[in-house]
């Protein structure tokens, strides 16, 4: 499973990408707003750091606007993935981009039927929002499982990108459910390495090494 970093924080991207634990980046207007910087400037800088896919979202809600904005975004760098909302207009734009060879990430997916439509128009990625479903007391991981079955039934090549990841448990469950990618904030990705028994064991080893006068 690939890991994407869900942020527009350049320093955080640079730090985590350098570890080799991340394969790409996802952004959205809300994340870039937090950065307080120009949208195109942020996307351009991210693409200069990350060689993998970088999702950048259109603002327009009509087909014509999405196509115009999407083409501008795709021209920034070869690894830009145009992020589109899961609406009829978004799906129409996705079909056009698919025909033009522009990679797409269809976002705000909350049902298996929506994911089926995205695959039919050739989306590169579909982004089911796990955490937001959990917020309304629906198991978001069930959606990942349903999409996996449907895509495998028909050989769809659209990648399942688990989004709205809130915690390490979400990451594990996405992997178990067969998601191709998950995107999460830097803090969640770092937290995957944490375990109290690891901390306890390391403390014991260091204490014993000190007591024995061991050095390397």
**CA-to-CA separations, 56 to 6, 52, 68, 93, 186, in angstroms, rounded:** 11, 13, 14, 15, 18
- Whole-prediction pTM value? 0.94
Q: pLDDT tens across 147-202, in order?
A: 999 999 999 999 999 999 999 999 999 999 999 999 999 999 999 999 999 999 99
Query: In this predicted structure, what is the pLDDT of residue 92?
Result: 98
Q: DSSP string of 16-52?
A: HHHTT---EEE--HHHHHHHTS-HHHHHHHHHHH--S
Chain position carrying tokens 């307080």: 36
Q: ∠ at Cα 177 (171, 178), nearest 5°?
A: 95
Query: In this predicted structure, what is the pLDDT of residue 85?
Result: 98
List the catalytic residues: 83
Query: In this predicted structure, what is the pLDDT of residue 181?
Result: 98
| List of the chain residues with pLDDT < 70 | none
Give backbone dihedrals phi and psi of 22, rounded to 5 degrees, phi first. -120, 145
Give backbone dihedrals phi and psi of 126, rounded to 5 degrees, phi first. -120, 135
Element of type H or E holding 142: helix 140-154
| Cβ proximity of 31 and 56 under 8 Å | no
Which conformational region is residue 36 in: left (phi greater than 0), alpha (psi within -120 to 50 degrees), or beta?
left
148: its two tokens = 């996996």
The whole-angstrom separation of Cα 155 and Cα 143 is 18
Q: What is the DSSP letter of 216?
A: -
Query: In this predicted structure, what is the pLDDT of residue 215?
Result: 86
């Amino acid at each position: 499973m690939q890991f994407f970093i869900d942020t527009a924080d350049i320093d955080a991207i640079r730090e985590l990408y350098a570890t080799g634990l991340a394969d790409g980046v996802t952004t959205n207007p809300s994340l870039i707003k937090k950065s307080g910087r120009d949208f195109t400037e942020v996307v351009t800088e991210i693409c200069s750091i990350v060689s993998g896919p970088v999702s950048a979202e259109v603002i327009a809600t009509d087909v014509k606007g999405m196509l115009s904005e999407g083409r501008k975004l795709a021209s920034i760098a070869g690894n830009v993935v145009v992020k589109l909302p899961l609406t009829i207009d978004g799906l129409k734009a996705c079909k056009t981009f698919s025909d033009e060879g522009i990679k797409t990430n269809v976002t705000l997916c909350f049902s298996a039927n929506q994911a089926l439509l995205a695959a039919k128009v050739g989306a590169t990625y579909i982004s089911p929002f796990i955490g937001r479903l959990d917020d309304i007391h629906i198991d978001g991981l069930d959606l990942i499982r349903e999409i996996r079955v449907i895509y495998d039934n028909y050989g769809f090549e659209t990648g399942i990108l688990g989004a709205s990841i809130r915690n390490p448990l979400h990451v594990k469950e996405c992997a178990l459910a067969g998601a191709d990618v998950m995107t999460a904030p830097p803090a969640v990705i770092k937290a995957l390495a944490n375990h109290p028994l690891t901390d306890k064991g390391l403390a014991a080893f260091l204490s014993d090494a000190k007591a024995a006068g061991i050095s390397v």
